């Protein structure tokens, strides 16, 4: 790849990339030329994902580091590992996330906190750590993976809705503090994407019919649908785009 979207020589860390959206985004960044670092907590799954991706690229282009994005110390260790063993971190995708479905009246605080920690606090922890390295170098791209739940709310996923809404505003807060140091921080808000996280929804006939009806494009999104926007936001082609969250949802959030 050449020109504006070429990521050759850049180091990218994608959190939660042992599977699903994160894994597809890591592949897309690698295809655009980046050297990528996968992350997850299940070390065995992560190593397997690294082996699959590495098989398609030259030696040294794909790495992995297992760490829990909800831990301050682990986030620092993970980013330091990338800097020491792979190279200066230039692209961070805060993608790791979980969902917990239960009506709010039955939701206990431990589950609330677990989702907030994974889907919101993690982006602060890993983002802050990455920025500590990026700011002195005067450049860096951070992409926060939000959701249509950033703007819309479905019942039974209150902490997810709260976290993703917060993540959009954290994207703005990071921009307010770090844009002047040469960083671009943006969000991607995917619509309903067919992955492991949403497999039970795809299998639910009623929900599946609702999604197809509610999405103007009349289909589920694929991980591939997110690849182009992620590469663009990671590249020089988006250098004056800052603090934005781009909805990639087949039109779901603009049609009632
Ligand atoms: P998956 O459940 O398929 O994958 C989740 C990934 O996150 C896994 O790699 C998992 O690692 C990792 N992970 C979870 N907890 C942690 C943690 N504490 N530390 C490090 N890694 C962790 O999810 P999706 O690919 O579907 O979703 C990815 C992101 O996209 C999430 O933020 C989600 O909210 C968002 N999103 C998804 C949509 C969809 O329709 N699928 C729609 C909108 C947004 P491990 O393998 O070790 O468990």
- Tell me the ipTM for this assembly: 0.99
Please determine, for residue 240, whether its predicted confidence score (pLDDT) is greater than 90.
Answer: yes
Nearest 5°: the CA angle 238, 244, 245 is 110
H/E/C letters for each residue in 3-45?
Answer: HHHCCCCCEEEECCCCCHHHHHHHHHHHHCCCEEEECCCCHHH
Say how many Å lie between the CA of residue 16 and the centre of ligand 1: 5
Contact 74 CB / ligand 1 (< 6 Å): no
Atom of ligand 1 nearest to the CA of 70: 18
Say how many Å lie between the CA of residue 25 and the centre of ligand 1: 12
Please determine, for residue 176, whether its predicted confidence score (pLDDT) is greater than 90.
Answer: yes
Residue-level pLDDT at 154:
94
Chain segment 105-121, per-residue pLDDT in tens: 999 999 999 999 999 99
Contact 141 CB / ligand 1 (< 6 Å): no
Contact 185 CB / ligand 1 (< 6 Å): no
- For 61, 91, 172, 241, the CA distances from 175, given in Å and listed in that order, are 29, 15, 5, 10
Structural domain boundaries of the chain?
A: 3-249
Choice between 197 and 113, residue whose per-residue pLDDT is larger:
113
Contact 96 CB / ligand 1 (< 6 Å): yes
The residue to which tokens 């039970």 are assigned:
200
Which amino acids are annotated catalytic? 160
Say how many Å lie between the CA of residue 180 and the centre of ligand 1: 30
For atom 10 of ligand 1, which residue has the closest CA?
16
pTM of the model: 0.98
Q: Which fold does the domain 3-249 belong to in CATH?
A: Rossmann fold (3.40.50)
Residue among 163, 156, 226, 232 at smallest CA distance from 191:
226
Chain segment 141-168, per-residue pLDDT in tens: 999 999 999 999 999 999 999 999 999 9
């Amino acid at each position: 790849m050449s020109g504006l979207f070429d990521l050759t020589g850049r180091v990218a860390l994608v959190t939660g990339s042992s599977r699903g959206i994160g894994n597809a985004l890591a592949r897309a960044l690698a295809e655009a030329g980046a050297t990528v670092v996968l992350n997850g907590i299940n070390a065995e799954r992560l190593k397997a994902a690294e082996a699959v991706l590495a098989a398609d690229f030259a030696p040294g282009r794909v790495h992995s580091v297992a760490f829990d994005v909800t831990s301050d110390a682990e986030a620092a260790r993970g980013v330091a590992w990338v800097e020491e063993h792979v190279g200066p971190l230039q692209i961070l995708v805060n993608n790791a996330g979980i969902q917990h479905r239960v009506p709010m009246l039955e939701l206990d605080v431990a589950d609330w906190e677990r989702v907030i920690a994974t889907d919101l606090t993690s982006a602060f922890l890993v983002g802050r750590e990455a920025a500590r390295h990026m700011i002195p170098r005067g450049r860096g791209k951070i992409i926060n993976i939000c959701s249509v739940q950033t703007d819309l709310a479905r019942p039974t996923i209150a902490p997810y809705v709260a976290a993703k809404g917060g993540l959009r505003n954290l994207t703005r807060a990071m921009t307010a503090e770090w844009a002047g140091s040469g960083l671009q921080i943006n969000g991607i808000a995917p619509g309903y994407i067919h992955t492991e996280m949403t497999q039970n929804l795809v299998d639910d006939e009623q929900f599946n019919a609702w999604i197809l009806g509610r999405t103007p494009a009349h289909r589920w999104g694929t991980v591939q649908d997110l690849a182009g926007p992620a590469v663009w936001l990671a590249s020089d082609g988006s250098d004056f785009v800052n603090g934005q969250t781009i909805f990639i949802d087949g039109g779901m959030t603009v049609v009632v």
